[in-house]
Chain A
Amino acid sequence: LAKTTQPISMDSYEGQEVNITCSHNNIATNDYITWYQQFPSQGPRFIIQGYKTKVTNEVASLFIPADRKSSTLSLPRVSLSDTAVYYCLVGDGGSQGNLIFGKGTKLSVKP
């Protein structure tokens, strides 16, 4: 499974757009990029998944450049409730499906 690198923490203010970038230099051809969100004392929650270019859903957008060595999670107009840890995961699930979580990015949204 490809290793990922993302900032340990980020600060933002309500109403701002937040972009969290994840590096995955060793991403394999079959790997997808998946982002999870985790609030304190809760289980991780799926946000978005993509393979290349851009994916958008009702919560976020995911930008993936052509070389796929990085990806950027974009959260539009964050609110206080978006304060959480965001994890970037890379893999194809393979034959086992176990998710390898890094330390994630702790996003703090301030009023």
Chain B
Amino acid sequence: EPEVTQTPSHQVTQMGQEVILRCVPISNHLYFYWYRQILGQKVEFLVSFYNNEISEKSEIFDDQFSVERPDGSNFTLKIRSTKLEDSAMYFCASSDSFQETQYFGPGTRLLVL
């Protein structure tokens, strides 16, 4: 069964450093998403992406965040200058369309020290 994959599984970084989280969505999917989940809290939507541009973003997705689809398979989330409060699990998801089921990856646990 096709699945979404994410790398790395864990990332530790110093405050102020840039991090790039990588995702490989399911191959025939066209819609991509990033969510995050701070420990013990809800899963929160960050951004959706279609046709090489952002479709929607939440208030969390400020200027420190960016997304990119650098090639035909990868979908990345960049945090330009990490803050302590960016520590969370980051989940990538993909779907056939906005109305279809979203399939989530296993997540990247980011720890900012």
Binding site for B on A (CB under 8 A): 34, 38, 41-46, 49, 87, 92-104
Name 9 interchain pairs, CB-CB below 8 A, sorted by A: A41-B107, A43-B91, A43-B93, A43-B104, A87-B43, A99-B43, A99-B93, A99-B102, A101-B44
Query: Of all chain A residues, which has the CB nearest B58?
Result: A98
Q: Check B55 against A96 for contact (C-beta < 8 Å).
A: yes
- Give a binary string over B44-58; 1 marks a CB under 8 Å from any A CB, 0 the rest: 110010000001101
- Chain A residues with Cβ under 8 A from B33's Cβ? 97-99
B103 at the A interface (CB under 8 A): yes
For the complex of A and B, 9 pairs with smallest distance between CB atoms: A43-B104, A97-B98, A96-B56, A93-B99, A98-B45, A101-B43, A93-B98, A43-B91, A46-B101
Number of B residues contacting the other chain (C-beta, 8 Å)? 28
Residues of A within 8 A of B48 (CB): 96-98
Which of B4, B43, B91, B97 has the most chain A CB atoms closer than 10 A to its own CB? Answer: B43
Could you list 8 further interchain pairs (A-B, Cβ under 8 angstroms) beyond the known A46-B103, A95-B55, A103-B42?
A42-B107, A44-B104, A96-B55, A97-B33, A98-B56, A99-B45, A99-B93, A101-B43
Asked if residues B101 and A43 are in contact (CB atoms below 8 Å), the reply is no
> How many angstroms from the CA of A93 to the CA of B107 in the assembled complex?
22
Q: Please name all residues of chain B whose beta carbon is closer than 8 Å to the beta carbon of A103 when the two chains form the complex.
A: 42
Distance in angstroms between the alpha carbons of A34 and B68 in the assembled complex: 28
| A93: B residues at CB distance < 8 A | 97-100
Instruction: Collect the chain A residues with CB atoms within 8 Å of residue B104's CB.
Output: 43-45
In the complex, what residue of chain A is closest to B102 when comparing beta carbons? A99
Q: Contacts of A87 on B, CB cut-off 8 Å?
A: 43
Q: Are B45 and A100 in contact (CB under 8 A)?
A: yes
